[in-house]
Amino acid sequence: MNKNKGAVFVLVVFVVLVLVLLGTALVSQSISESRLAKKYSESIQAFWLAEAGINRALDELRLNYYQSGTGLWTTILDTGEYSVDVVIESQDRRVIAYGFVPSIAQASAVRRIEVVMNKDIPPGFYDYALYSAGDIDVNGDAYNIQGDIIYADDWEVDHPENIIGTVTAEPTITPLARFDFQELRDISEIQGNIYTVSPSGKLIDPDTGEEKALPSSFWSPWRDDGIDNDGDGAIDENDEQINIAYIEGDLQLNGNIGSVGGFLVVVGDVITDPDDTQDTTINGNGLIDGVIYTRGTFRVNGGGEDGLNVDGGVWAGDLIRLNGSVDIAYNAEYMGAIGSLNLGGDVQVISWKDPQTSYPLVP
């Protein structure tokens, strides 16, 4: 009997020990998972702080591109701090941003983001009839393109035999090079070519609030008039100007648009689509005698016998989509005239990387 009691006691002790060990393991695992979750959360917060540092650097370098140094900008935010280094590499700027949680001095989590920024207009920017930093999508066979084409992402084109020119896939052209928009706006303002866009899509003179038409010619009235328009004491090529129309919003050209000219700078989408829906049959007719720059999408839904004609070229940041009757021809004279303006570029990010793992997979 005593032997049975002894055996039961040993078994009970063994079971208790096993339960204690299991409980300890569960508690330890719970603590480890809690620590791991905290590390992950802090790592994400540090990453966001580093991103804030990159955005700060982009703003600062747009004000002064020649700044450089270690810890150039350091800012304390609610969750921690960021610090930004800038290294000058020829025409580029390598920006390294660090995020620290809870602070630089007592960091339990650190993340680093490295980007390269540049403000140059890339070589060959003025050499293409169609230049898309995203996709190109051309439907049907009622189109003609005369000139070279370059794109960054996808290419979906019906009847490529309707293209007279080379087609190049080049991922490095994204994002679309940014002009110095303030410089362009200043020129446009002198010419009286600033436009805002009403909710219904009409172009409005921002000074009068009245509807205003776009220029009808690429060249401004100052071209070849034999007058010293810039007041430098000489009559030269600087007296020859082009119309620069600065549109602050989406540009919608609907129906029979007639003749539109100039260098059209659109802060939004360029849409020649009367109903503003992609799946609607559109009849858009007219001539764009110039070059279009849009940071968004360029869509053409040409209709009728004459369709839509572009004599100049197109730059788009996201997508070029052509439907229906559309003719686009590269105009070297127009592109050369824009290039001769020697427009400055605006700083933008041209490469981005996160060179470290987000958080260690151990507590």
Residue boundaries of the structural domains of the chain: 35-119+347-363, 130-345
Contact 26, 85 (CB under 8 A): no
Mean pLDDT of 134-153: 95
Give the list of residues 6+ apart from residue 101 with CB closer than 8 angstroms, or none.
42, 43, 45, 46, 49, 79, 80, 107, 108, 109, 110
What does DSSP say about strands 326-330 and 308-316: parallel, antiparallel, or unpaired? parallel
Give the H/E segment covering residue 338: helix 332-339
DSSP three-state, residue 63: helix
The tokens describing 197, both together, are 């866009």
Residue 323 is given by DSSP the state E
Asked if the model's pLDDT at residue 135 lies above 80, the reply is: yes
DSSP three-state, residue 176: coil
138-142, 162-166, 177-181 — most confident range? 162-166
Quickly count helices (H) and strands (E) in the chain.
3, 23
pLDDT of residue 31: 61
More confident residue, 38 or 310: 310
Mean pLDDT of 151-156: 96
pTM for the predicted model, two decimal places: 0.75
Contact 156, 321 (CB under 8 A): no
pLDDT of residue 168: 97
Contact 323, 298 (CB under 8 A): no
Residue in 281, 282, 264 with CA at minimum distance from that of residue 272: 282
User: Each residue of 83-125: pLDDT tens digit?
Assistant: 999 999 988 999 999 999 999 999 899 999 999 999 889 889 9
User: CATH code for 35-119+347-363?
Assistant: 3.30.1300
More confident residue, 258 or 125: 125
More confident residue, 257 or 164: 164
Asked if the model's pLDDT at residue 3 lies above 70, the reply is: no
Phi, psi at residue 109, to the nearest 5°?
-145, 135
Mean pLDDT of 41-68: 92
Listed range (19-28, 99-108, 236-245) with the worst mean pLDDT? 19-28
pLDDT of residue 283: 42
Asked if the model's pLDDT at residue 273 lies above 50, the reply is: no
